Amino acid sequence: MRFTILKILSRQVLISTLKNKSTIVLIGIFNILIIAALFSGYSAFRQQQASVKDHSHEVRERWENNPDKHPHRMAHYGYVVFRQKFPLSFFDFGMDSYLGNAVFLEAHRQNTVNFSEASLSNGLLRFGEISAGMILQVLLPLLLFFWGFDLIARERENGTLRILLTQGISWPELIVGKALGLFYLSLSIFTPAIVIGFILLASNNSGLHNSQAFGQFSVLITSYLVYLSIISLLAVYVSAQSSSSKAALIKLIGCWLVFTLILPKISQVAGQSLFPSPSKIAFDTKVEEELISQGDSHNPNDPHYKALKDSLLRAYNVDSTHKLPFNYGGYVMREGERLSAEVYNRHQEKLVSIYQQQQNAVRLTALINPFLAIKNLSMALAGTDYNTYNDFQNQVEAYRYKQAQAMNELQIKLISNKIKSSSDKSSAVSSQYWKDFPDFDYHFLSFTQVFGKEIIAIISLIIWVVGLFFLIKTTSTHLKAF
């Protein structure tokens, strides 16, 4: 292809489209929408960030200000952890509004993450939220289809297409050149979104997370540029294949509906049908049934823990738990915590595996749907996808288990076997132990982890770009000038 020809064709598309007043109005409306979405998203992010900081400080302060008491009482006193948002989450809300934000941690029990924005808002949220990512993924392609449906079909109808081709311009040059002009038009909306997004990201004080956020933002920009080039090429290619502008418009609107509405819904339904997940009640019931079958650590007559007691008495050659060189009650609590955590984690892993299989059904659909590819990639890079949420749950459970076992270890080492009740004043340990226990510190998924989990989306975008160029090259000989 000759660069000079591509430059002339792209400039002609750009100038002729911008001469239309409606084009300027549409560009202005889209920029206003994106700016409003970015600032409202950033404002919500900063409010949530401040709320998490304040509430986390309050929870920590109350934890440290607890008086001297029995360690197991502190284990049941509990702790509250709040989910932080990734610095780039204001760009693409993804699943954030439907995921919980706070979880109560306590011994022997794994609580769910509650208080999602969806559960606290009115029913209007079901219609979706306007974010910069949503505008670029859904609305901008529709606008590009509107601008590009007649770029070649109109030339054929006017009889000017034959003149262009007789001047030595090849079909691939014509399609790519006009697609390049359409792509430049998309930058009139995409560029302000990126510039403002960069400024907002730079103004956020997220410490160490900022460097990773900038890296993911650069990949996000590249991904959207590839996506917009795919949409531009597709619009012009359909226009070249269609006998009239009307036929081209109908085909492109059909493509938009299939990409943004039909295929995503079909893939979700297919995933849920092929890999059905249990309800929360069914999940909790299975966990509870297995825990009951393993024994109750709070019941001294439970067969499992009676066998454990007998084995300890034999091992230490004593006839009473009071003669053991450590606190027997703490030992039992530690064993009970270990077993209950193993049961829960095993069932949780199975549940997450089902969710992953459902998500894989959607991810595979991205190979034939660039919209799903950019949607999945955008959510992952913005830190608003399910993988990020699941990683938060895993880190929270690890912290809960560490905290509960730390309290059990204090009971084992510091509490005498002669003490019969946790209400006994002599069973209290120093409150300095609560202060010394570290606060919860969430670490976001690394760039490599994010990138690796969305490799299908990346492959999809590459396949679409290469596939469209290949299609233009191989089918151009069959295109007609009249």
> CB under 8 Å to 150, separation ≥6 — which residues?
239, 245, 248, 249
Confidence class of residue 482 from pLDDT cuts 50, 70 and 90?
A: low
What is the pLDDT, as a whole number, of residue 392?
94
> Which carries the bigger pLDDT value, residue 119 or residue 89?
89
Confidence class of residue 478 from pLDDT cuts 50, 70 and 90?
A: confident
- When pLDDT is averaged across residues 85-103 and rounded to a whole number, the result is 90
- pLDDT surpassing 70 at residue 461: yes
Backbone angles phi, psi at 423, to 5 degrees: -80, -10
- When pLDDT is averaged across residues 376-393 and rounded to a whole number, the result is 94
Other beta carbons within 10 Å of 2: 12
Nearest to 335 by CA among 107, 98, 94, 20: 107
What is the pLDDT, as a whole number, of residue 267?
92
What is the pLDDT, as a whole number, of residue 158?
83
Q: How far apart are CA 45 and CA 200, in angstroms?
A: 11
What is the pLDDT, as a whole number, of residue 239?
92
Side by side, the strands of the sheet bearing 79-82 are: 79-82, 102-106, 109-110
The position carrying tokens 């917009």 is 228
* 102 residue type, one letter: A
Confidence class of residue 141 from pLDDT cuts 50, 70 and 90?
A: very high
Backbone angles phi, psi at 135, to 5 degrees: -65, -45
Tokens of 304: 């499992």
- pLDDT surpassing 90 at residue 76: no
Q: How far apart are CA 433 and CA 330, in angstroms?
A: 16
Confidence class of residue 124 from pLDDT cuts 50, 70 and 90?
A: very low
Q: What's the mean pLDDT when you consider all of the chain?
A: 88
- pLDDT surpassing 80 at residue 439: yes
What is the pLDDT, as a whole number, of residue 225?
97
Confidence class of residue 379 from pLDDT cuts 50, 70 and 90?
A: very high
C-beta of residue 75 within 8 angstroms of C-beta of residue 411: no
Instruction: Quick: pLDDT tens for 202-224.
Output: 988 764 456 889 999 999 999 99
Q: How far apart are CA 330 and CA 41, in angstroms?
A: 48
- Kindly tell me the burial class for residue 199, based on how many C-beta atoms sit within 10 Å of its own C-beta (0-12, 13-18, 19 or more): exposed
C-beta of residue 384 within 8 angstroms of C-beta of residue 93: yes
Tokens of 316: 């230490």
- pLDDT surpassing 60 at residue 393: yes
Model-level pTM? 0.90
- pLDDT surpassing 90 at residue 36: yes
C-beta of residue 347 within 8 angstroms of C-beta of residue 355: no
What is the pLDDT, as a whole number, of residue 206?
60
Nearest to 248 by CA among 237, 259, 258: 237
Nearest to 105 by CA among 355, 309, 350, 406: 406
Query: What's the number of domains the chain is made of?
Result: 1
Range of the domain at 172: 3-419+427-478
Q: Is the dihedral of CA 294, 295, 298, 302 positive or negative?
A: negative
Distance in angstroms between the alpha carbons of the first and the last residue of the chain: 23
- When pLDDT is averaged across residues 132-142 and rounded to a whole number, the result is 95
Instruction: Quick: pLDDT tens for 394-436.
Output: 999 999 999 999 999 999 988 888 777 666 777 788 999 999 9
Confidence class of residue 296 from pLDDT cuts 50, 70 and 90?
A: low
What share of the chain in percent tops pLDDT 70?
A: 94
C-beta of residue 82 within 8 angstroms of C-beta of residue 376: no
What share of the chain in percent tops pLDDT 90?
A: 56
C-beta of residue 14 within 8 angstroms of C-beta of residue 8: no
What is the pLDDT, as a whole number, of residue 209?
57
C-beta of residue 479 within 8 angstroms of C-beta of residue 162: no
- pLDDT surpassing 50 at residue 444: yes
What is the pLDDT, as a whole number, of residue 207?
46
Nearest to 96 by CA among 48, 35, 140: 48
Could you write out the DSSP letters of every residue in 124-160? GGGG----HHHIIIIIHHHHHHHHHTTTTHHHHHHTH
**Dihedral, 259, 262, 265, 270 alpha carbons, nearest 10:** -100
- When pLDDT is averaged across residues 242-248 and rounded to a whole number, the result is 91
C-beta of residue 71 within 8 angstroms of C-beta of residue 90: no
Q: How far apart are CA 247 and CA 254, in angstroms?
A: 11
Instruction: Quick: pLDDT tens for 306-357.
Output: 888 888 888 889 888 888 888 888 888 888 899 889 999 999 999 999 999 9
